[in-house]
């Protein structure tokens, strides 16, 4: 499949006082046409910063280096005016929180329509066409009473309905790429099932590519084709969704999956370090039960682990190697 989005060695830091806090380090990802990539990791690992960098929505104190290509065009070099022609039309987004993302003083229908009109006045015939598109989309997302809903305010809707309104705002322009940020965060189990089912429906019906930013492995399993796992501003593992979930290779990925309730809720020791106090060497080494002396001194690169898998771990330094057995690791440790 042809690549729709390609991120190469993306670095993002933020100017703070007299210094700079580095958040993203050498992030490289790609998304093909009609593909869903789930970016998974703990809160604060850099997932949303990656999405914001693609959308040109980072704050003014951000320092960005690297390359991001959309349809082979380098979009980091575009001016804000140039990128505005892509944002919302070619590249859509669904932000995290409906509470902070929806205008409480504006009717739902007007907010969704503004995604198409850009706030400019339209002819009556065009207004009717947009209304018809909104009603059709609301119906597809199983939002009841489409016409009445357009006149409602966000406070009159449930959390699940507002989440679906955000989804409708992301897809109404029929973008080629949709960045969906934490759609299942802080919602109950019933609503989570609804949102996941809608994402699956969108994947099947709209045929748009998606970057699904989430901490929810269950949602990733049901929606994503591939998964990229992030830790402390770095991608540590990528591969097919089912492969990663069934056979995690990086110790951090394995720790995340073992911590799921379905896996016995075996929580990892320690915490992700602050970006202002990163450890020397592998960033996961202080929490890793398989770390070697080398891990605490050197930063591992991304190594091929076979079947399209890539892992940032010295245990995979030899291309195509599988997890080394404990006896081999012990021999390396005492070499």
- Rounded to whole angstroms, the Cα distance separating 49 from 46 reads 5
Based on the fold, state whether residues 74 and 191 are members of the same structural domain. yes
pLDDT at residue 230 above 90? Answer: yes
Residue ending a domain, choose from 120, 140, 174: 174
Instruction: Look at residue 330 in the predicted model and tell me its pLDDT.
Output: 39
Instruction: Look at residue 116 in the predicted model and tell me its pLDDT.
Output: 86
Based on the fold, state whether residues 217 and 319 are members of the same structural domain. yes
Based on the fold, state whether residues 199 and 124 are members of the same structural domain. no
pLDDT at residue 327 above 60? Answer: no
pLDDT (mean) for 31-39: 95
Which helix (H) or strand (E) segment is 62 a member of?
strand 62-70
Residue 100, domain member (yes or no) = no
pTM: 0.88
3-state class of 6 per DSSP?
Answer: strand
pLDDT at residue 158 above 80? Answer: yes
Based on the fold, state whether residues 16 and 26 are members of the same structural domain. yes
Instruction: Look at residue 187 in the predicted model and tell me its pLDDT.
Output: 67
DSSP 260-312: SGGGT--PPSS-PPPTTSPPSS-TTGGG-TT--GGGGTS----EE-STT-EE-
pLDDT at residue 323 above 50? Answer: no
Give the model's confidence band at 113: pLDDT under 50 very low, under 70 low, under 90 confident, else very high.
very high
Say which residues have a Cβ less than 8 Å from residue 249's Cβ, sequence separation at least 6: 237, 239, 305, 309, 311, 313, 316, 323
Instruction: Look at residue 179 in the predicted model and tell me its pLDDT.
Output: 96
Domain CATH code at residue 314: 3.40.50.300
pLDDT at residue 14 above 90? Answer: yes
Instruction: Look at residue 26 in the predicted model and tell me its pLDDT.
Output: 95
Based on the fold, state whether residues 233 and 285 are members of the same structural domain. yes
Instruction: Look at residue 69 in the predicted model and tell me its pLDDT.
Output: 98
pLDDT at residue 248 above 80? Answer: yes
pLDDT at residue 335 above 50? Answer: no
Which one is predicted more confidently, 38 or 160? 38
Lowest mean pLDDT among 6-10, 232-236, 273-277: 273-277
**Dihedral pair phi/psi, residue 210, rounded to 5°:** -135, 140
Give the model's confidence band at 307: pLDDT under 50 very low, under 70 low, under 90 confident, else very high.
confident
Say which residues have a Cβ less than 8 Å from residue 214's Cβ, sequence separation at least 6: 38, 39, 40, 47, 182, 183, 184, 185, 220
pLDDT (mean) for 56-62: 95
Based on the fold, state whether residues 269 and 120 are members of the same structural domain. no
Residue 97, domain member (yes or no) = no
> What domain count does the chain have?
2
Instruction: Look at residue 325 in the predicted model and tell me its pLDDT.
Output: 36
Domain that holds residue 70: 3-90+175-333
pLDDT at residue 206 above 90? Answer: no
Instruction: Look at residue 129 in the predicted model and tell me its pLDDT.
Output: 87
Which one is predicted more confidently, 99 or 288? 288
Based on the fold, state whether residues 238 and 160 are members of the same structural domain. no
Instruction: Look at residue 298 in the predicted model and tell me its pLDDT.
Output: 94
Give the model's confidence band at 126: pLDDT under 50 very low, under 70 low, under 90 confident, else very high.
confident
Instruction: Look at residue 70 in the predicted model and tell me its pLDDT.
Output: 97
Instruction: Look at residue 209 in the predicted model and tell me its pLDDT.
Output: 94
Per-chain mean pLDDT for the chain = 88
Instruction: Look at residue 18 in the predicted model and tell me its pLDDT.
Output: 86
């Amino acid at each position: 499949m042809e690549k729709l989005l390609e991120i190469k060695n993306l670095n993002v830091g933020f100017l703070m006082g007299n210094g700079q806090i580095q958040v993203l380090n050498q992030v490289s990802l790609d998304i093909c046409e009609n593909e869903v990539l789930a970016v998974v990791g703990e809160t604060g690992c850099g997932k949303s910063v990656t999405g914001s960098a693609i959308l040109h929505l980072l704050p003014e104190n951000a320092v960005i280096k690297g390359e991001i290509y959309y349809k082979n065009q380098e979009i980091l070099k575009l001016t804000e005016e140039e990128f505005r022609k892509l944002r919302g039309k070619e590249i859509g987004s669904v932000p995290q929180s409906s509470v902070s993302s929806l205008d409480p003083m504006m009717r739902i229908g007007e907010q969704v329509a503004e995604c198409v009109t850009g706030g400019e006045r339209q002819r009556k015939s065009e207004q009717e066409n947009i209304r018809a598109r909104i009603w059709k989309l609301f119906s597809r997302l199983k939002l009841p009473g489409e016409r009445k809903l357009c006149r409602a305010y966000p406070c009159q809707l449930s959390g699940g309905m507002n989440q679906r309104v955000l989804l409708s705002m992301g897809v109404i322009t029929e973008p080629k790429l949709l960045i969906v940020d934490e759609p299942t965060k802080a919602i109950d189990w019933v609503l989570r099932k609804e949102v996941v089912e809608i994402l699956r429906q969108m994947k099947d019906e709209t045929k748009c590519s998606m970057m699904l930013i989430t901490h929810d492995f269950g949602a990733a399993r049901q929606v994503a084709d591939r998964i990229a796992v992030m830790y402390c501003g770095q991608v540590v593992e990528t591969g097919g969704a089912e492969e990663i979930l069934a056979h995690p290779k990086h110790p951090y990925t394995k720790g995340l999956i073992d911590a799921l309730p379905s896996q016995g809720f075996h929580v990892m020791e320690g915490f992700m370090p602050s970006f202002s106090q990163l450890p020397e060497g592998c960033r996961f080494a202080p929490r890793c039960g398989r770390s070697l002396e080398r891990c605490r001194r050197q930063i591992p690169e991304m190594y091929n682990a076979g079947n399209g898998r890539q892992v940032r771990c010295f245990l995979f330094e030899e291309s195509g190697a599988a997890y080394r057995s404990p006896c081999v690791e012990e021999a390396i440790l005492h070499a």
